[in-house]
């Protein structure tokens, strides 16, 4: 009887899933009511934060207690709340690594589309097609600056691995689907010898230009407008970066893009790919599996892929020495070399 009770199936895990919508909404509410910004200057009571932000004391008390449970705030015996290292680094709006804007956009732009998931699965048609220039330009113009922290440290790892700080000659970088331009920006920060060509839709380039100027490296950027498979971005590059782009392109366009990128690199050049990688059986890790559903909802042919799938496409394009580079982020970087 004891063994049977021990192995009894309970609904607890499913009930947890039932409230899985709550954490991003709680974080978004805290961001919009300036909770994290208010606590940057030090620990405070609910009443102090209410006076400072104008939010109701009752609302703040419940919200902030939930944030304590999420381990995004701490509370002492005097009922004073303070930031954790995690919230201090990523949820204070003026910090370089701030994800505050991402949570707001997640709620306003993405959640409503996910509510259509049942229809999307039935019809096979996305709720929106962000891989198309019209919808995609509007979507990514608001998103790219808010997801810079997802790629910044990974790009720094790439710059260190390629020893850009020791470069003696000009290093030409091709930043494909540049978005915020953060991949090229970080490589340019690593060495004054880096020159970047950023390629993206015409409607995205003003955003890319603005952010490169914000980081102080805009003078070393060249910009090319157009679809990745149609734009002429030339050849002779030392490095090409594809930062989280293959998943929205889908298999067919990704394979074509890798072949075109191969032609653009010089002999000995490196391609660096950031992606959400699943295993070969598509059974784990969970975040890339869920991100595949994100692609189902928001693109026409997007998906997440395994390392071995992308490796086979790279080798088909002519690349060799396909390897992983461990880096901060959802998955390792994939690197390959043009012979």
Q: Which residues contact 195 (CB under 8 A, 6 or more apart)?
A: 170, 171, 172, 173, 188, 220, 221, 222
Q: What are the residues whose beta carbons fall under 8 Å from the beta carbon of 339, sequence distance 6 or more?
A: 267, 318, 320
CATH 2.60.40.1240 fits 2-105, yes or no: no
Residue 226 has pLDDT above 80, yes or no: yes
Q: Which tens digits make up the pLDDT trace of 18-56?
A: 998 999 999 999 999 999 999 999 999 999 999 999 999
The tokens describing 52, both together, are 């400072």
Q: Does the pLDDT value for residue 166 go beyond 90? A: yes
**What is the dotted CATH code of the domain comprising 126-337?**
3.40.50.150
Q: How confident is the model at residue 142 (pLDDT cuts 50, 70, 90)?
A: confident
What is the C-alpha to C-alpha distance for residues 310 and 250, in angstroms, rounded to an integer? 11
Nearest to 295 by CA among 229, 251, 243: 251
Q: Cis peptide before 285, with omega less than 30 degrees from 0?
A: yes
For the chain, which residues make up each domain, given as ranges? 2-105, 126-337
8 Å CB contact between 276 and 310? no
| pLDDT interval class at 287 (50, 70, 90) | very high
302-336 per-position pLDDT tens digit: 999 999 999 999 999 999 999 999 998 889 999 99
8-state DSSP, 44: B
Tell me, what DSSP letter sits at residue 192? T
Secondary structure (3-state) at 336: strand
CA dihedral for 44, 46, 51, 55, sign (positive or negative) = positive
Query: Hey, how many other C-beta atoms are within 10 angstroms of the C-beta on 31?
Result: 22
pLDDT digits (tens, 9 = 90+) for 84-121: 999 999 999 887 678 878 888 888 888 889 999 999 99
State if pTM tops 0.95: no
Instruction: Find out whether 288 and 331 touch, Cβ atoms under 8 Å.
Output: yes
pLDDT, position 327: 94
For residue 150, the model assigns a pLDDT of 85
Residue in this structure with the two tokens 């409230």, named with its chain if needed: 19
Task: Provide the b/e sequence for 115-140 (b: ≥16 CB within 10 Å).
Answer: eeeeebeeeeebbbbbbebeebbebb
How many Cβ atoms sit within 10 Å of the Cβ of residue 217? Answer: 20
- Using DSSP's 3-state secondary structure scheme, residue 170 falls into coil
Burial class (CB in 10 A: 0-12, 13-18, 19+), 186: buried
* DSSP string covering 91-141: SSTTSTT--HHHHHHIIIIIHHHHTTHHHHHHH---S--TTSHHHHHHHHH
């Amino acid at each position: 009887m004891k063994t049977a009770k021990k192995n009894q199936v309970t609904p607890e895990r499913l009930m947890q899933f039932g409230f899985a919508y709550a954490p991003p909404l709680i974080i978004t509410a805290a961001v919009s009511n300036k909770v994290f910004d208010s606590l940057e200057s030090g620990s405070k009571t609910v009443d102090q934060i209410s006076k400072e932000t104008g939010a109701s004391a009752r609302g703040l008390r419940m919200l902030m207690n939930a944030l304590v449970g999420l381990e995004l705030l701490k509370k002492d015996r005097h009922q004073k709340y303070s930031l954790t290292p995690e919230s201090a680094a990523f949820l204070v709006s003026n910090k370089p690594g701030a994800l505050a804007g991402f949570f707001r956009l997640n709620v306003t732009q993405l959640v409503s589309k996910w509510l259509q998931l049942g229809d999307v699965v039935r019809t096979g048609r996305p709720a929106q097609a962000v891989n198309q220039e019209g919808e995609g330009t509007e979507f990514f113009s608001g998103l790219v600056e808010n997801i810079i922290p997802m790629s910044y440290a990974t790009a720094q790892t790439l710059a260190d691995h390629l020893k850009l700080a020791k470069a003696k000659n000009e290093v030409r970088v091709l930043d494909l689907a540049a978005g915020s331009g953060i991949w090229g920006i970080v490589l340019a920060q690593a060495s004054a010898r880096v020159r970047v060509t950023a390629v993206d839709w015409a409607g995205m380039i003003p955003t890319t230009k603005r952010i490169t100027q914000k980081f102080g490296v805009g003078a070393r950027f060249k910009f090319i407008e157009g679809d990745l498979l149609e734009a002429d971005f030339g050849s002779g590059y030392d490095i090409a970066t594809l930062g989280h782009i293959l998943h929205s392109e889908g298999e067919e366009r990704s394979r074509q893009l890798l072949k075109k990128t191969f032609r653009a690199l010089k002999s000995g050049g490196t391609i660096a790919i950031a992606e959400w990688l699943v295993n070969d059986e598509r059974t784990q890790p969970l975040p890339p599996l869920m991100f595949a559903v994100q692609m189902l909802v928001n693109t026409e042919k997007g998906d997440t892929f395994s390392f071995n799938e992308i490796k086979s496409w790279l080798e088909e394009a002519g690349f060799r020495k396909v390897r992983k580079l461990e880096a901060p982020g959802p998955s390792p970087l994939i690197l390959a070399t043009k012979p």
